[in-house]
Structure 1
């Protein structure tokens, strides 16, 4: 998604089973395309299909027990001194990242959070008396906004994170809001989290059906 908008430099905060993520990227060139193996050569693997994603990915060990704020803090040496984007790995959305960044630069505060409407857990019925006049299968909630976890941040945000055992969603965001430094970009489009096996099955079903609005790189 980020690469679709031209953002190709990434820092990934590794924790539990981070070795799986390292192994994926270390072997990406081999696993993502066709290869020829010539066991008689010093370098036996010849890779075909050499055009791969233009990503630079820093895989940073941040500890198995470190909380979200602490993980962000540990990325600081790798992010430079400019504006950066942040997200978790468990949400998908069709939020326009260029518009999100433009909104952040317009208001000039330290932090922008994407506010989204969560999908309803159950279908929604409309009535005329006892007659059902409409049935909507799991619509986006008509009211209420939650943290969609697509952030744009200035480096001063690191000053709001005191150590490893800090949840980013608690004291840092609360104190940014207290100081008038947190703004919300309201996104009315698609957003979903994959927190449970049930969520995974729902998103997999959407993907297999071709109804995957978060796959903006396909448009």
Structure 2
């Protein structure tokens, strides 16, 4: 991490962001096996595991959508047909349906559909993270930059701020860095007594890759083949070349790697206290 340039967040004007980000594409890596969540992923791809009755993929897209991002590329792999079927039938599952059997017509009514454009790309079951990006290179090659994140993590990250930050520093890549929660609770002991206890606070250890990248298409030149792992050679080479900047996010960030973490996110959603839902883009800084 010492080779990554870390900058503090700074205030930006949301109204300006909205006008300038509407055509930016967001890539979501959604093809892995999710073996640590095998209780769920034996039946469906990890991004289709539900939080509050909706796939976590839907929640991630809502995070971007709040900032005006409506163009998505989903890099599917393992059980990718389920992702295709989900979006192909999205209107049916989110509308009232009138079926006229005599005329063989189906009409959707009372639809509440987001203005998303979703390209689901089959990037192979055994392809690594970098390889998946390489497979969709042609879809972003002419863009000044694109967004990318993983299909298994939620956050109240300021997407608009990270885009403005990326534009400001001139590097090829911006990575959101976060301080993860500790696996166990922490205590403060005085005179043999517990004076303070915090249930799984943020760790004091180093910042880690939190996803939510802003990237120049030129970074895809570092992807050699399907077996390229994005987090290995490409990111390491960008850091060595001082072309990887860090957007430090100090708010909520939670991956869904285990059944316990899925339950944590479920409880947040059901309680109405899901930070990724309740965050206000216009107030972000």
For the aligned pair, the TM-score class normalised by the smaller chain equals: over 0.9
The structure with the largest alpha-carbon Rg is 1
1:4–1:217: 8 Å Cα contact kept in structure 2? no
Query: Is residue 13 from structure 1 mapped to residue 71 from structure 2 by the alignment?
Result: no
Structure 1 residues 62-211: aligned runs within 5 Å: 62-81=123-142, 82-211=144-273
Return the alpha-carbon distance in structure 2 between the equivalents of residues 117 and 210 of structure 1.
24
2:252–2:276: 8 Å Cα contact kept in structure 1? yes
Aligned pairs, number: 218
Return the alpha-carbon distance in structure 1 between the equivalents of residues 148 and 248 of structure 2.
16
Which segments of 5 or more consecutive residues in structure 2 lack a partner in the other structure? 1-62
1:4–1:216: 8 Å Cα contact kept in structure 2? no
Return the alpha-carbon distance in structure 1 between the equivalents of residues 121 and 229 of structure 2.
18
Cα RMSD for the two superposed structures: 1.3
Q: Secondary structure at the match of 1:2?
A: helix
Query: Is residue 46 from structure 1 mapped to residue 107 from structure 2 by the alignment?
Result: yes
Return the alpha-carbon distance in structure 1 between the equivalents of residues 191 and 100 of structure 2.
75
Change (3 A) 1:217 1:144: closer
TM score, norm. by length of structure 1 = 0.96
TM score, norm. by length of structure 2 = 0.74
Return the alpha-carbon distance in structure 1 between the equivalents of residues 278 and 139 of structure 2.
27
Q: Tell me by how many angstroms 1:28 deviates.
A: 0.5
